[in-house]
Structure 1
Amino acid sequence: MSRKNALAAAVAAALALGTVTLAATRSTAAASTSSSARPGAGFRAMSADARGAAMRTADREAEALAKSLGFGTDEKLVAKDVLVDTDGARHVRYDRTYRALAVIGGDLVVHYGANGRLTGADQAHRGALTVAGTTPKLSASDASDAAVKHAKHVKNARTETSDGSTLVVYAVGKVPVLAYRSTVTGAGEAGPASREAVIVDASSGAPLDQYELHQGVTGTGTGITVGQVSIETTQSGSSYTLTDALHGGTVVYDSYNSSQSTPKQNAKAFTKSTNTWGNGTASSRESAAVDASYGLAKTWDFYKEAFNRSGIRNDGKGAPAYVHVDTSLLNAFYDDDCFCMFFGDGSSQNSNTPVTSLDVAGHEMSHGVTAATANLNYSGESGGLNEATSDIFGTMVEFYANNAGDPGDYYIGEKLNMSGGYMRRMDNPAADGNSLSCYSSSCTDHGGW
């Protein structure tokens, strides 16, 4: 958790430090219309085979479910994701189609109890859809021209092809309408190739909606320490990356064991064709990335909710994060020179458990906040306060996240398989044999590190 070096000992001002180094999701569920209280038991880790079986079950249930929810015969549900709580409750996200056309605003999440009974559903549009017809008055080319005209989020908008508009049912309003969804490209917040979706009425070409496409989608990840969670990703064509647009465009990279002195040397973005990441073990390089992505999102959300702070520098920009740094690195660190965070894979001291736990992510991102606000140089007493502040806020993030797989406590790094069960203790700092439980004027370095 030092900024560039393996961290050393001693603390200041009744705040815990130690000698051992260490280092949101936000759901996009449909608007709630009828749901039951959820116990918050936390998600169960599922293997690829188990998840595949759960998806097949969800697809088999789709027809009967659609009827029970009062949907029409022209509508179908397609399972998109399944999460299972540790208590056996199940949550299935469905996409909705109307005469084989995608329904924008028709998605829903259905909840089942551990006994398999339906307990509730969160729906964006309740009841059957009724559309006058599925034959458009406008051609796809006309719709593309209208989309370019109505684009708001990019300048000098253009479409890649004249017929690149897709017929859909737009059900966001009270009355569903036949529409075209087009993708336009131009200069915008994401750079010169920013992308925007434009929805136009298929009869008149009138604009119905516009939104930027660098916004994230919700994927499913299984981390080593946080278990199965929802994480924000970004879709580009048929590929997904661990880019969290909802939290400032935070990107998690695989360092591919680049050395600690040059951790970005071999780095590559995590990219894949499906939006399911990790398997809960170190055998998948994605698992540590899930931990980091989830932890950084939760830290962002904590600072936003508690202090109305938008990111490390309060400018809405996310900091890049790199996992799998170096070999046998039992450390993580923040570097303000590159506005980056780096996470090692652990060592034989902790059974090679990646140093990407929730309190570690909160700790490292908090180093960035300190660098942006307090200017606590990393030496002497100010260095002690710097490190202690990160421990304190990392602990608060853990309580804030309320993750059943890693509940809030006063231990630092308790999920990292350390021989003593933790790296540091906030309730009794001196218990680690190196930290101080209170400030002492006898410290030769004034309580620093």
Structure 2
Amino acid sequence: MPTSPDLQDAQITLPGPWTRIVDGRWTLVCAAVMAALAVLVFNVPWGVALVSFLILALVTASVPARARSRRLQAVKQREMRRMWPGTGMKVTVDALSSPCFVADGKGVTRYVNKAALDYYGQVRPGDPLSFALRAPSLLEAFDRVSASGKAERISWGEKVPSEAWFEAHIAPVYMPGGSGTAEAGGVPDFILVVVYDQSEQRRLERMRSDFIANASHELRTPLASLSGFIETLQGPAKNDADARDRFLGIMHEQASRMRRLIDDILSLSRIEMKANVKPSDSVDLAEIVRHSADALAPLGRELDVEIETRLPELAATVRGDRDELIQVTENLIENAMKYGGSGKRVEVSVARSSGNGSAGWCLCVRDFGEGIAAEHLPRLTERFYRVDVASSRTLKGTGLGLAIVKHILTRHRARLEIVSKPGEGAAFSVHFPA
């Protein structure tokens, strides 16, 4: 650790020879008197007395008093402890996974842990804390802690270079033998600043809030329709057979929409519950595609869309959950038939993944319809995001299909790639690792 100018000013040096002679002046005076008495009373040669006095003076100037040396050394060590944290504090701070700064009461950085260096870049001991932490609210809280000796916890947000949220815990540290104590107050020897990144937590909270709001909105519409038609059937249309049949058909459609939405929400919740559990079973992608194509063949005939498959002769084996991968395949094929049905065909292929080398497999679902504009591609897997709300509801979409696909593929450590141009259709490719 380099020595800063502050530390150099604070260091205490031991007394010089002249200072030691001044401090031992009474001893030397007594020695001079004893030498004079020895010459006058006991007839000791004056040369012997003078040499003995000079030897005593030399010893006094060369050797400091042991008690004084210990006292000065203790003062020196205490001053150094107040200026720079000791090894124990450094080891403790380095063990923290969050960025941590150790500063003195003036806001000068005395030590930073590795997490702080990784996040904030080069932070040098001796620089002001404001060089790394520029949030005004944090610096104001630091000054309050330095003045009052009471710990504080604050939160703040940043907009540049991207939106982020942080929380900091600022606590005073009183060293043994320092100028103050936690009970009596006083100026802290050090102030500990621990910074926690709350961005991901805030993002999840916002996503959860948006999801609840969107789900409530999606359920409110069919519920309002059902309530309105029930009131009409109980009132004005009570004896109208034609109206009753027409309204019951609409009510059945709205109830089916609610059922599909609730099924997708429950499915998404189940997937999220085991998001960190990697599948261990081996499944054949080609067999899954055949199963999905057969299951969706009636829908293809209804929409006048043909499903074409291109599958390898050998088994395309990947690690995965069979039911979830069937859900992924059916969602992608069904979306291609509904929203790209104007091309009259959907092509489903399984081949070696060029992106992951020869070990991986790629499932590709391609339609030849109208395509998707570039500005919509990054948001297609968001919950309840729709390119065209009206057509999605007409085609009985819930807005959760691709969100379910994304969560399933995240659990399988697979990657979804979407390529589309208006007028040229869209291709949804799933790259599975080895």
TM-score by length of 2: 0.21
Larger Rg: 2
Q: Larger relative contact order (C-alpha < 8 A, sep ≥ 6)? A: 1
Higher strand share: 1
